Chains A and B, each alone.
Chain A
Amino acid sequence: EAQVTQNPRYLITVTGKKLTVTCSQNMNHEYMSWYRQDPGLGLRQIYYSMNVEVTDKGDVPEGYKVSRKEKRNFPLILESPSPNQTSLYFCASMGWVPNTGELFFGEGSRLTVL
Protein backbone atom coordinates (compact mmCIF):
# COMPACT_ATOMS: atom_id res chain seq x y z
CA GLU A 1 0.00 0.00 0.00
CA ALA A 2 1.31 3.44 -0.98
CA GLN A 3 1.80 5.49 2.14
CA VAL A 4 3.71 8.05 4.12
CA THR A 5 4.57 6.82 7.62
CA GLN A 6 5.42 9.08 10.53
CA ASN A 7 6.66 8.16 13.99
CA PRO A 8 5.90 8.80 16.73
CA ARG A 9 2.22 9.65 16.34
CA TYR A 10 2.08 11.24 19.77
CA LEU A 11 4.88 12.61 21.90
CA ILE A 12 5.09 14.64 25.07
CA THR A 13 8.51 16.03 25.86
CA VAL A 14 10.17 18.77 27.88
CA THR A 15 11.87 21.96 26.80
CA GLY A 16 15.36 21.42 25.48
CA LYS A 17 15.26 17.65 25.03
CA LYS A 18 16.26 16.85 21.46
CA LEU A 19 13.81 14.79 19.48
CA THR A 20 13.40 13.41 15.98
CA VAL A 21 10.19 12.69 14.11
CA THR A 22 10.77 10.15 11.39
CA CYS A 23 9.05 10.12 8.01
CA SER A 24 9.23 7.43 5.38
CA GLN A 25 7.46 7.05 2.02
CA ASN A 26 7.27 3.94 -0.15
CA MET A 27 6.25 5.62 -3.42
CA ASN A 28 9.73 6.50 -4.68
CA HIS A 29 8.78 10.18 -4.55
CA GLU A 30 11.53 12.73 -5.03
CA TYR A 31 9.81 15.60 -3.24
CA MET A 32 9.15 15.53 0.51
CA SER A 33 8.05 18.22 2.90
CA TRP A 34 7.21 18.92 6.53
CA TYR A 35 4.26 21.03 7.66
CA ARG A 36 2.95 22.11 11.00
CA GLN A 37 -0.73 22.62 11.62
CA ASP A 38 -2.01 24.96 14.29
CA PRO A 39 -5.63 25.92 15.05
CA GLY A 40 -6.91 28.53 12.61
CA LEU A 41 -3.59 28.80 10.75
CA GLY A 42 -3.85 25.98 8.24
CA LEU A 43 -0.73 24.13 7.14
CA ARG A 44 2.56 25.96 7.18
CA GLN A 45 5.63 24.56 5.49
CA ILE A 46 8.72 24.01 7.66
CA TYR A 47 11.23 22.47 5.26
CA TYR A 48 11.12 20.67 1.95
CA SER A 49 13.42 18.51 -0.11
CA MET A 50 13.50 18.22 -3.87
CA ASN A 51 15.71 15.16 -3.84
CA VAL A 52 18.41 13.33 -1.89
CA GLU A 53 20.85 15.73 -0.20
CA VAL A 54 18.79 18.74 -1.33
CA THR A 55 16.81 20.56 1.37
CA ASP A 56 15.40 24.08 1.62
CA LYS A 57 13.64 26.22 4.17
CA GLY A 58 9.92 26.69 4.02
CA ASP A 59 7.95 29.44 5.69
CA VAL A 60 8.57 28.56 9.36
CA PRO A 61 11.97 26.81 9.58
CA GLU A 62 13.23 28.34 12.85
CA GLY A 63 14.00 25.72 15.48
CA TYR A 64 13.94 22.79 13.08
CA LYS A 65 16.42 20.80 11.06
CA VAL A 66 15.97 18.12 8.42
CA SER A 67 18.10 15.71 6.46
CA ARG A 68 17.59 13.72 3.29
CA LYS A 69 20.25 11.02 3.09
CA GLU A 70 17.95 8.54 1.38
CA LYS A 71 15.09 9.07 -1.01
CA ARG A 72 12.49 7.42 1.19
CA ASN A 73 13.32 9.10 4.53
CA PHE A 74 12.99 12.71 5.63
CA PRO A 75 13.35 13.09 9.41
CA LEU A 76 12.44 16.29 11.24
CA ILE A 77 14.80 17.22 14.06
CA LEU A 78 14.06 19.54 16.95
CA GLU A 79 17.44 20.18 18.56
CA SER A 80 16.08 22.10 21.54
CA PRO A 81 12.28 22.01 21.56
CA SER A 82 10.35 24.90 23.04
CA PRO A 83 6.65 25.16 24.01
CA ASN A 84 5.85 27.19 20.86
CA GLN A 85 6.71 24.08 18.85
CA THR A 86 3.75 22.27 20.36
CA SER A 87 1.80 21.43 17.24
CA LEU A 88 0.51 18.79 14.87
CA TYR A 89 3.16 17.88 12.31
CA PHE A 90 2.63 16.35 8.89
CA CYS A 91 5.11 14.87 6.49
CA ALA A 92 4.12 14.80 2.83
CA SER A 93 5.53 13.65 -0.47
CA MET A 94 4.88 14.46 -4.11
CA GLY A 95 5.48 12.26 -7.10
CA TRP A 96 7.13 14.70 -9.44
CA VAL A 97 7.92 18.38 -9.68
CA PRO A 98 6.44 20.52 -10.99
CA ASN A 99 3.09 19.01 -10.16
CA THR A 100 -0.52 20.07 -9.96
CA GLY A 101 -0.14 20.05 -6.18
CA GLU A 102 -1.15 16.52 -5.19
CA LEU A 103 0.62 15.87 -1.93
CA PHE A 104 0.43 12.56 -0.08
CA PHE A 105 0.32 13.15 3.66
CA GLY A 106 1.21 11.02 6.63
CA GLU A 107 -1.20 10.55 9.52
CA GLY A 108 0.41 13.27 11.60
CA SER A 109 2.54 13.50 14.74
CA ARG A 110 1.11 15.41 17.68
CA LEU A 111 3.90 16.95 19.70
CA THR A 112 3.55 18.60 23.09
CA VAL A 113 6.50 20.45 24.57
CA LEU A 114 6.17 21.23 28.28
Chain B
Amino acid sequence: GESVGLHLPTLSVQEGDNSIINCAYSNSASDYFIWYKQESGKGPQFIIDIRSNMDKRQGQRVTVLLNKTVKHLSLQIAATQPGDSAVYFCAENLFSGGYNKLIFGAGTRLAVHP
Protein backbone atom coordinates (compact mmCIF):
# COMPACT_ATOMS: atom_id res chain seq x y z
CA GLY B 1 0.00 0.00 0.00
CA GLU B 2 0.93 3.62 -0.18
CA SER B 3 2.23 3.85 3.41
CA VAL B 4 4.69 1.04 2.68
CA GLY B 5 6.15 2.98 -0.24
CA LEU B 6 6.86 6.15 1.73
CA HIS B 7 10.00 4.75 3.35
CA LEU B 8 11.45 3.09 0.29
CA PRO B 9 14.05 4.16 -2.24
CA THR B 10 12.31 5.69 -5.23
CA LEU B 11 13.16 5.46 -8.89
CA SER B 12 11.59 8.24 -10.94
CA VAL B 13 11.38 7.81 -14.70
CA GLN B 14 9.71 9.50 -17.62
CA GLU B 15 6.96 7.67 -19.42
CA GLY B 16 8.44 5.81 -22.35
CA ASP B 17 11.91 5.46 -20.84
CA ASN B 18 13.37 2.16 -19.70
CA SER B 19 13.51 1.43 -15.97
CA ILE B 20 16.06 -0.64 -14.12
CA ILE B 21 15.32 -1.74 -10.58
CA ASN B 22 18.12 -3.37 -8.64
CA CYS B 23 18.23 -5.83 -5.78
CA ALA B 24 20.97 -7.46 -3.75
CA TYR B 25 20.28 -10.91 -2.34
CA SER B 26 21.95 -12.76 0.48
CA ASN B 27 21.92 -16.53 -0.02
CA SER B 28 24.15 -18.11 -2.65
CA ALA B 29 22.14 -21.33 -2.35
CA SER B 30 18.81 -19.81 -3.40
CA ASP B 31 17.19 -21.75 -6.22
CA TYR B 32 14.96 -19.13 -7.80
CA PHE B 33 14.68 -15.39 -7.76
CA ILE B 34 11.40 -13.64 -8.24
CA TRP B 35 10.08 -10.14 -8.83
CA TYR B 36 6.75 -8.97 -7.47
CA LYS B 37 4.82 -5.79 -8.19
CA GLN B 38 2.63 -4.16 -5.56
CA GLU B 39 0.23 -1.43 -6.60
CA SER B 40 -1.19 0.95 -4.05
CA GLY B 41 -3.81 -0.73 -1.87
CA LYS B 42 -3.26 -4.17 -3.35
CA GLY B 43 -1.36 -7.33 -2.60
CA PRO B 44 1.92 -8.19 -4.34
CA GLN B 45 1.58 -9.74 -7.77
CA PHE B 46 4.06 -12.15 -9.37
CA ILE B 47 5.86 -10.69 -12.40
CA ILE B 48 8.66 -13.02 -13.40
CA ASP B 49 11.11 -15.50 -11.98
CA ILE B 50 14.55 -16.76 -12.92
CA ARG B 51 16.26 -19.98 -11.99
CA SER B 52 19.66 -19.78 -10.37
CA ASN B 53 21.38 -21.51 -13.31
CA MET B 54 20.28 -18.76 -15.71
CA ASP B 55 21.57 -15.21 -16.07
CA LYS B 56 18.78 -13.67 -18.11
CA ARG B 57 15.11 -14.21 -18.68
CA GLN B 58 12.69 -12.14 -20.72
CA GLY B 59 8.99 -11.64 -20.38
CA GLN B 60 6.58 -9.20 -21.87
CA ARG B 61 8.33 -5.80 -21.60
CA VAL B 62 10.35 -7.08 -18.65
CA THR B 63 13.78 -8.66 -18.41
CA VAL B 64 15.39 -10.05 -15.30
CA LEU B 65 19.17 -10.30 -15.02
CA LEU B 66 20.97 -12.39 -12.45
CA ASN B 67 24.61 -11.90 -11.51
CA LYS B 68 25.54 -14.62 -9.05
CA THR B 69 29.12 -13.42 -8.72
CA VAL B 70 28.01 -10.28 -6.90
CA LYS B 71 24.61 -11.59 -5.73
CA HIS B 72 22.72 -9.02 -7.74
CA LEU B 73 19.35 -9.14 -9.42
CA SER B 74 17.78 -6.53 -11.66
CA LEU B 75 14.44 -5.97 -13.31
CA GLN B 76 14.36 -4.01 -16.53
CA ILE B 77 11.07 -2.58 -17.73
CA ALA B 78 10.98 -1.41 -21.33
CA ALA B 79 8.99 1.64 -22.40
CA THR B 80 7.75 2.34 -18.89
CA GLN B 81 4.07 3.24 -18.64
CA PRO B 82 2.05 5.02 -15.93
CA GLY B 83 0.53 1.65 -15.03
CA ASP B 84 4.00 0.46 -14.03
CA SER B 85 4.01 2.83 -11.06
CA ALA B 86 4.18 0.57 -8.02
CA VAL B 87 6.50 -0.88 -5.40
CA TYR B 88 8.67 -3.69 -6.73
CA PHE B 89 10.01 -6.45 -4.51
CA CYS B 90 12.65 -9.00 -5.26
CA ALA B 91 12.56 -12.33 -3.45
CA GLU B 92 14.90 -15.27 -3.20
CA ASN B 93 13.46 -18.74 -3.00
CA LEU B 94 15.31 -21.54 -1.30
CA PHE B 95 14.09 -25.12 -1.43
CA SER B 96 14.81 -26.51 2.02
CA GLY B 97 13.36 -29.47 3.86
CA GLY B 98 10.78 -30.04 1.13
CA TYR B 99 9.29 -26.58 1.17
CA ASN B 100 9.88 -23.12 -0.22
CA LYS B 101 11.52 -20.45 1.90
CA LEU B 102 11.00 -17.04 0.35
CA ILE B 103 12.93 -14.02 1.60
CA PHE B 104 11.69 -10.66 0.36
CA GLY B 105 13.68 -7.49 -0.14
CA ALA B 106 12.48 -4.18 1.26
CA GLY B 107 11.27 -2.96 -2.13
CA THR B 108 11.77 -0.06 -4.52
CA ARG B 109 9.10 2.41 -5.46
CA LEU B 110 8.85 3.20 -9.17
CA ALA B 111 7.26 6.55 -10.03
CA VAL B 112 6.46 7.13 -13.69
CA HIS B 113 6.00 10.74 -14.79
CA PRO B 114 4.21 11.84 -17.96
Which listed residue (A39, A92, A97, A104) contacts B98, Cβ 8 A? A97
A-chain residues with CB within 8 Å of residue B99 when the two chains form the complex: 31, 48, 50, 97-98
Number of inter-chain CB pairs below 8 Å: 79
B3 at interface, CB cutoff 8 A: yes
B-chain residues with CB within 8 Å of residue A100 when the two chains form the complex: 32, 34, 49, 51, 93
Number of B interface residues, CB 8 Å? 31
CA distance A42 to B89 in the complex (A): 8
Q: Is the CB of B102 within 8 A of A110?
A: no
CA distance A41 to B87 in the complex (A): 13
**Interfacial residues, chain B to chain A (CB-CB below 8 A):** 1, 3-4, 6-8, 31-34, 36, 41-46, 49, 51, 89, 91, 93, 95, 98-100, 102, 104-107
Residue of B nearest to A96 (CB): B100
- Sort chain A's interface into a size bin: 20 to 34
Residue of A nearest to B91 (CB): A101
20 CB contacts below 8 A, A to B, read A35-B104, A39-B4, A39-B6, A40-B8, A42-B89, A42-B106, A43-B89, A45-B102, A50-B98, A50-B99, A88-B1, A90-B44, A94-B100, A97-B98, A98-B31, A98-B98, A99-B93, A100-B93, A107-B41, A108-B41
Q: Is the CB of B6 within 8 A of A107?
A: no
Q: A40-B7, A50-B99 are in contact. Are A108 and B42 (CB under 8 A)?
A: yes
